[in-house]
Amino acid sequence: MKNQISRGEFIRLSSLTLAGALVSNAVFANDLFLNNTTGKEDLELLKKLIVNNDAKVKSLLSKALPDPAVRLSSFRGIASSITIMTASLSNSGSEYYKSVLLTEKINESIDILLKEQYSDGTLDAGGNRQSPPDTAFILEYICPAAVLLKNHKQNDLAPLKDKLKKFILNAGEAMITGGVHTPNHRWVICAALANINALYPDVRYVSRIDEWLAEGIYMNEDGHYAERSGIYSAVIDKALITMARLLNRPKLLEIVHKNLTTYFYYTETNGDLVTVDSKRQDQFMSLKVTNFYLQYRYMAIKTNNAMFPYMVNLIEKLPEFTNDILSNSLAFFLENEVLRKQIPIESKVENDFEKFFAISNLARIRRGKTSLTLFGGNDQPVQIVSGRSSNPNFLMYRRGDSILKYMRLSTSFFRMGYFSSDGIVKEGNKYILKETKEADYYQPLAQEFRKADGDYKLSESPDGRFWNKMDFDSRTKSNVKKQTTTIEITEDNGALSLEFKVEGPPNVEVTIEMCFNEGSSIMGAVQDEKKNYFLKSGFGALGTGEDKIQFGPGKCEHLNVENLDSEEYTYHQGSLRTIGEHVYITGFTPFYHKMNIY
């Protein structure tokens, strides 16, 4: 596709440091970027923003402030309300323009923040105590409010301005010295510093930004940041845009450009985001692309990439647009004039594609109404912890409004749980996923390792299944059992042929699990007393008309579909089973089964 960054450009961006990212007045060497900032304002959109912001203000005024006797553990709601109320207070098109009542409410809200702010400038956030990065997220709201008040020449607002300034400057000290937990926190703090510096310039703010940026902004060739997360990609894109425009460092937009291009392919036509490959909490969440709206809009105006106005238009047509954007974004439009500009006329974008993200081991395919996702990119060994990919969904399939949320495979092999592919191999239109599991038994300790009291080292078993005082490292493994699972998926114009092969010890239960949207009407399968469906033979179907999904043939050799998760989950009474209509195909090893989805 025209205007994609070359591989060499990727490599350069992956190691972006002080020498590359911090050039102040750089001119782009490619034709990705242009300047549409002199265009007309989108007055219709601004009217909608004002009306919906006022509606949100009305709702806020009807609610009492938090009980001062109860200590708060989260301040984003208060910070957001300050920004929303300030946008109406300072906008002449609002029914709350110069409202005395609103001024009092904002004053009371700011007082809460000042009361709870620690002497080092930080706030708490849940379990994060005196947290610099969580305070930076608060500044994302408070600084635009301060900009609007600073530009609004109304004498009786001086106390408000002074309170905001006090909070911001106090927090600025924490931003200069404070640390982080996660990769995205660095750029959120940098964006906070850029916002503070734009209001109250101080060389220390810029020096701290340079210190963080000198580490380099990681981006792989798939266009993903380190966390590979829809939540935090939107956060980082917003932060880099803030730095680019307030510090005049436009090269940062090149990174944003690549990430937003990737999320074009990760977006379903109803606005759902593919999150299965995330390394953070959203790998098990449903997200909407509305999180990226301001970023796509800014880049649609600043670049000539036709994908971006396409995405802006898609988001604006979503039913979630009013609540997610129109009701709380007016302040950002008033503070950033670029967002107010009309986007370029929507260009024709080819929305049928096959895109393989080799580093993420994820494929996205769209053929008309049909879209599918294949995934085999879990971090190995699989561990259930923030920062590692562990979602066992290897196939997601949609046809219009009919949705197969996921397909998984599990076996009873030593209770090691779901299939987790060791990557994906692509051969033409065939995708091959493969995994080998190993479980061990252990011999008696040799004489030199024995202890009379039996008090051996507490350690993890070599196969990772459990811990015990067995000194496993000093034992010889024996009776080693291996199980190899191979899944081959061939795509032809949206139709799938799947071939399953599970080999190893005999008589191991194998379960193919399909989860369809809750409330879906399933035909051709038999339901048990627990509302599980079993496709015993032939084909099953979901939906009617053009959006029907058909799947099969089925197979049913056992009915044990409980505890499909690994012992890591079930020991803690946990489960990855989600809400939906569950259909099962079952058998025993050696297991061979072919089926189709179309």
**Average pLDDT, stretch 152-164?**
91
Q: Are 89 and 104 in contact (CB under 8 A)?
A: no
Q: Residue 27's pLDDT is what? A: 33
Q: Residue 68's pLDDT is what? A: 79
Residue 526 CB burial class (10 angstroms; 0-12, 13-18, ≥19): middle
Q: What distance in Å separates the CA atoms of residue 540 and residue 523, rounded to the nearest whole number?
A: 5
Q: How confident is the model at residue 575 (pLDDT cuts 50, 70, 90)?
A: confident
- Which residues have CB under 8 Å from 248's CB, separation 6+? 24, 25
Q: Roughly what angle, to the nearest 10 degrees, separates helices 158-177 and 183-199?
A: 140
Q: What distance in Å separates the CA atoms of residue 146 and residue 241, rounded to the nearest whole number?
A: 19
Strand ranges in 190-303 using DSSP code E only, listed in sequence order = none
**Average pLDDT, stretch 522-539?**
96
- Given phi > 0 = left and psi -120 to 50 = alpha, else beta, which region is 354? beta
Q: Are 518 and 581 in contact (CB under 8 A)?
A: yes
How many helices (H) and strands (E) are present in the chain, helices listed first?
A: 16, 21
Question: Per-residue pLDDT for 356 more than 90?
Answer: yes
Question: Per-residue pLDDT for 5 more than 70?
Answer: no
Q: Are 576 and 384 in contact (CB under 8 A)?
A: no
Backbone phi, psi, residue 59, to 5°: -65, -40
Question: Per-residue pLDDT for 55 more than 90?
Answer: yes
Question: Per-residue pLDDT for 24 more than 90?
Answer: no
Give residue-wise pLDDT tens across range 432-468.
999 999 999 999 999 999 999 999 999 999 888 889 9
Tokens linked to 489: 């998926």
Element (H, E) at 479: strand 477-492
- Lowest mean pLDDT: which of 16-25, 187-196, 287-296? 16-25
Give residue-wise pLDDT tens across range 497-524.
999 999 999 999 999 999 999 999 999 9
Q: What distance in Å separates the CA atoms of residue 490 and residue 377, rounded to the nearest whole number?
A: 18
Q: Are 598 and 495 in contact (CB under 8 A)?
A: yes
Q: How far is CA 392 from the centre of its chain?
A: 17
Q: Residue 36's pLDDT is what? A: 61
Q: Give the β-pairing of 424-427 and 495-503.
A: unpaired
**Dihedral (C-alpha) 423, 427, 430, 436: value to the nearest 10 degrees?**
-30
**Given the structure tokens 């469906």, which residue do they identify?**
533
Question: Per-residue pLDDT for 32 more than 80?
Answer: no
Nearest to 507 by CA among 584, 591, 567: 591
Give residue-wise pLDDT tens across range 299-333.
999 999 999 999 999 999 999 999 999 999 999 99
Q: What distance in Å separates the CA atoms of residue 22 and residue 243, rounded to the nearest whole number?
A: 10
Q: pTM to 2 decimals?
A: 0.91
Question: Per-residue pLDDT for 71 more than 90?
Answer: no
Question: Per-residue pLDDT for 545 more than 90?
Answer: no
Q: How confident is the model at residue 529 (pLDDT cuts 50, 70, 90)?
A: very high
3-class DSSP state of 37: coil
Q: Residue 385's pLDDT is what? A: 84
Q: Are 499 and 487 in contact (CB under 8 A)?
A: yes
Give 62's DSSP letter.
Answer: T
- Given phi > 0 = left and psi -120 to 50 = alpha, else beta, which region is 355? beta
Q: Residue 381's pLDDT is what? A: 85
Q: Residue 38's pLDDT is what? A: 67
Q: Residue 19's pLDDT is what? A: 31
Q: Residue 571's pLDDT is what? A: 67
Question: Per-residue pLDDT for 428 more than 50?
Answer: yes
**Average pLDDT, stretch 554-574?**
85
Q: Roughly what angle, to the nearest 10 degrees, separates helices 293-302 and 252-265?
A: 120
Tokens linked to 299: 């880049």
Q: Are 305 and 299 in contact (CB under 8 A)?
A: yes
Q: What distance in Å separates the CA atoms of residue 582 and residue 514, rounded to the nearest whole number?
A: 6
Q: Residue 475's pLDDT is what? A: 94
Q: Are 147 and 139 in contact (CB under 8 A)?
A: no
Give residue-wise pLDDT tens across range 170-218.
999 999 999 999 999 999 999 999 999 999 999 999 999 999 999 999 9
**Average pLDDT, stretch 394-418?**
96
Residue 375 CB burial class (10 angstroms; 0-12, 13-18, ≥19): buried
Question: Per-residue pLDDT for 431 more than 90?
Answer: yes
User: Domains along the chain?
Assistant: 41-183 (no CATH), 353-439+483-597 (2.70.98)
Q: How confident is the model at residue 34 (pLDDT cuts 50, 70, 90)?
A: low
- For residues 533 and 15, the model is more confident at 533
Element (H, E) at 426: strand 424-427
Q: To the nearest whole number, what is the mean pLDDT of the chain? A: 92
Give 325's DSSP letter.
Answer: I
| DSSP assignments along 47-59, one per residue | HHHHHHHHHHHHH
Q: How confident is the model at residue 8 (pLDDT cuts 50, 70, 90)?
A: very low
Question: Considering the chain, what percentage of its residues have pLDDT values greater than 70?
Answer: 92
Q: How confident is the model at residue 41 (pLDDT cuts 50, 70, 90)?
A: very high
Q: Are 391 and 277 in contact (CB under 8 A)?
A: yes
Q: Residue 13's pLDDT is what? A: 38
Element (H, E) at 255: helix 252-265
Tokens linked to 475: 């034992």
Q: Residue 82's pLDDT is what? A: 98
430 strand-pairing partners: 427, 490
Give every strand in the sheet of 549-552, ordered side by side.
424-427, 430-442, 477-492, 495-503, 591-597, 549-552, 540-542, 522-523
How far the first Cα of the chain sits from its last, in Å, is 29
**Average pLDDT, stretch 365-372?**
96
